[in-house]
Amino acid sequence: MLSLLILWGALTIIFTIIGTPILHACKLQTFLPKSEDQILVAIWLGIIVLANLLLLTSLFTSLNLYVMAFFVVIMATPYFFKPSEYTIQSFSISQTTGWSLFVVTIVALFFATIGIDKVEDTGLYHHQMIN
């Protein structure tokens, strides 16, 4: 479970780096006054654009890590040329509140992942595969 959390954290950073230049190129940040909304829309745009590029690429070649890395590097280049233009200016919540929410979320995820798997939770039809 920890590996999935690390994977989703890394992918969130990648999707944000891909989606933020698209957000600014379409001038969508003017419609989103809160920076938290801008981040969520940037992540969503990054997911959509990268998924569609990989879907288009899958018609011509097999997908592997190198193909995805190629598209991530190509889509992230605008972010590295003008990083100051794509930075989030200010959040609507204080830094203390943000860090507190982050810590509470991490603690909740920690306790959710260390729980013991019960056979009743699996509906008894995944028990053989889990063992």
The residues spanned by each domain of the chain are: 2-92, 95-131
16 and 42 Cβ atoms separated by less than 8 Å: yes
pLDDT in tens, 45-58: 999 998 999 899 99
Comparing CA positions, the residue from 41, 6, 3, 1 lying closest to residue 22 is 41
Checking if the pLDDT of 18 tops 70, the result is yes
Checking if the pLDDT of 14 tops 70, the result is yes
pLDDT in tens, 65-91: 888 888 888 887 877 777 666 666 666
Q: Is the dihedral of CA 113, 118, 121, 124 positive or negative?
A: positive
pLDDT in tens, 91-113: 666 778 778 878 888 888 777 77
86 and 21 Cβ atoms separated by less than 8 Å: yes
Please compute, for residue 100, the number of CA atoms within 13 A of its CA located in the half-sphere on the CB side.
5
Q: What residues have CB less than 8 Å from 29, skipping those under 6 apart?
A: 23, 38
The helix-helix angle for 2-25 and 65-81 (nearest 10°) equals 50
Residues, the chain, total?
A: 131
pTM as predicted: 0.63
Question: Using the 8-state DSSP alphabet, how is residue 28 labeled?
Answer: G
